[in-house]
Amino acid sequence: MFNKKSFLSISVLLLLALVVVACAPAATPEPTPMPAEVVEPEPEPEPEPQSIVDIAVADGRFTTLVAAVQAADLADTLANDGPFTVFAPTDEAFNMLPEGTIPALLDDIPALTDILLYHVVAGEVLAEDVVTLDEAETLLGEMVSIRVENGMVFINDAQVIITDIIADNGVIHVIDTVLLPPAEEVAEFGTIVDIAVEDGRFETLVAALQAADLAEALSGEGPFTVFAPTDEAFNQLPEGTIPALLDDIPALTDILLYHVVEGEVFAEDVITLEFAETLLGKDVEIRVDDGMVFINEAQVIITDIQADNGVIHVIDSVLLPPESVGTVVDIAVEDGRFETLVAALQAADLVEALSGPGRFTVFAPTDEAFNKLPEGTIPALLDDIPALTDILLYHVVSGRVLSQDVVTLEEAETLLGENISIRVENGRVFINESEVIIVDIIADNGVIHVIDTVLLPPEN
């Protein structure tokens, strides 16, 4: 039976337990964790754009290629947008070229440029596409051949040793040999002298060229146009002429040079001309009669024999140069009717110019024409050389214009740069208001037409 004593004991124990609990230290609370600091990762730097040229420069195996591209002024082109496919020869590839080739190319920029453009194809052609092609057109406009043999790829005869080096503006495939464009196929005819020797109809002409020491000159670069007399043409000369010429080399040389015109003048152009200046400095006249072409009095019987350094037209007579009659100035001095004109030319320092190798047409006022000027005009002009020079140049036209051509014109530009008017009235020819009273006084370097009045340039 529950008694008082037991209840009292239990009460005491409970009381002691409550005291112990009340006096115990309070529990330490768990700390609240601080939020961790978030560190943003720094963005990766964008890679610098790398053009084909940048990659070639940085690589180190293409120093010769880079130098060549810079020398040919192609670096900017190959660094632009493109895209391009470059078959890039290594330095070793360039070293396989014959000794002296690279310096020679650096001195011949057009040839170097052609070679470099022959290594570049427009567009980005990766290796997987290259092997599907038989050929590709380069920036030179010429094709490279492409073939696969035993798993190896060849561009012409150069092996591709590294593929697909990707640039921002295209792709590089490395090759082990420099690609050389195909040489232009040029038919070789031989020089003018070679053809004359081989033909068999020009034995006398060839012997004359050799005697005059002109064979080497006419075997040179040229080009030349030769009016070539046959052996039969030489045989038409008076008996003894050929031996005499072989003993008189200066005269022989003059005759030979009189058969040669500078430049390559084909038949279709010859017939458009009225004269042509020869290497002797004297003109040959050209005319077409009844479909036949004549050089002076020699008929052209064969045209357009092509040589490497020019063209030959065969003629049936030997051309003999006209005897020298003197220059325009020489004739004016000797004539006696142009003393004032000659004095004016000397005062204006134009004598040497009008004695030169050019072709001039001079409308020459006589002394009487100068005397028609107002009194005091001539002394005043001799004191005013610029004005005198202008007046004199106003009397000269470039080229040899014979009277038959003058009458077809309405005006002509003078050496002053001002035009003179030309008209025909009642069979008389007038230059401005001056009448032409004598025509076609032929000089070695032009022609003189005599006029009765001094021509005065228009005032500015």
> Alpha-carbon distance 76 to 374, whole Å?
69
What is residue 46's predicted lDDT score, i.e. its pLDDT?
A: 59
Is pLDDT of 362 > 50?
yes
Closest CA to 331 of 241, 449, 227, 201: 449
pLDDT digits 0-9 by tens, 246-277: 999 999 999 999 999 999 999 999 999 988 98
Q: Which amino acid is at 279?
A: L
Q: How far, in Å, are 340, 341, 384, 395 from residue 379 at the CA level? A: 11, 13, 9, 19
The position carrying tokens 């081989």 is: 198
Residue type (1 letter), 434 = S
Shortest CA distance to 81 belongs to which of 60, 41, 51?
Answer: 51
- 319 has pLDDT over 60: yes
In angstroms, the CA 263 to CA 455 distance is 37
Q: How far apart are CA 111 and CA 367, in angstroms?
A: 62
Phi and psi at 102, nearest 5°, equal -65, -50
pLDDT one-digit tens code per residue, 7-18: 445 444 444 444
CB atoms within 10 A of CB 284: 21
Rounded to an integer, what distance in angstroms lies between the CA atom of residue 84 and that of residue 76? 13
Residue with tokens 């050019």: 358
Nearest-angstrom CA–CA distance, 258 and 261: 8
Whether residue 78 is predicted with pLDDT greater than 80 in this model: the reply is yes
d(CA 209, CA 255): 10
Predicted pLDDT at 10: 44
Q: Is 413 helix (H, G, I), strand (E, B) or coil?
A: strand
Q: Report pLDDT digits (tens) over 217-249.
A: 999 999 999 999 999 999 999 999 999 999 999
* Distance of alpha carbon 42 from alpha carbon 45, whole angstroms: 9
Task: Give yes or no for residue 44 having a pLDDT over 70.
Answer: no
Mean pLDDT for the stretch of residues 299-325: 95
- Confidence at 434, pLDDT banded by 50, 70, 90: very high
Q: Are 365 and 456 in contact (CB under 8 A)?
A: no
Paired sense of beta strands 158-167 and 298-307, if any: unpaired
Q: Pick left, alpha or beta for residue 336 (phi over 0 → left; psi -120 to 50 → alpha; otherwise beta).
A: left
**pLDDT at residue 94 tops 60:** yes
Question: Could you tell me the two tokens for 53?
Answer: 């040229």
Q: Which long-range CB contacts under 8 A does 57-60 form with residues at least 24 apart?
A: none
- The answer to whether residue 27 scores a pLDDT higher than 70 is no
CB of 312 closer than 8 Å to CB of 192:
yes
Would you give the DSSP letter of residue 186? Answer: -
Give tens-digit pLDDT for 418-429: 999 999 999 999
Q: Is the dihedral of CA 344, 346, 349, 352 positive or negative?
A: positive
How wide is the angle at C-alpha 123 spanned by C-alphas 122 and 126, nearest 5°? 120
Amino acid 460: pLDDT: 57
Cβ neighbours for 365, distance < 8 A, ≥ 6 positions apart: 338, 340, 341, 395, 434, 451, 452, 453, 454, 455
Rounded mean pLDDT of 273-301? Answer: 92
The tokens for 280 are: 């002797």
Q: What is the pLDDT of residue 189?
A: 86
**Alpha carbon distance 455, 431 (integer Å):** 8
Q: Do the bridges between strand 396-398 and strand 120-122 make them parallel or antiparallel, or are there none, so unpaired?
A: unpaired
Tens digits of residue pLDDT in 116-164: 999 999 999 999 999 999 999 999 999 999 999 999 999 999 999 999 9
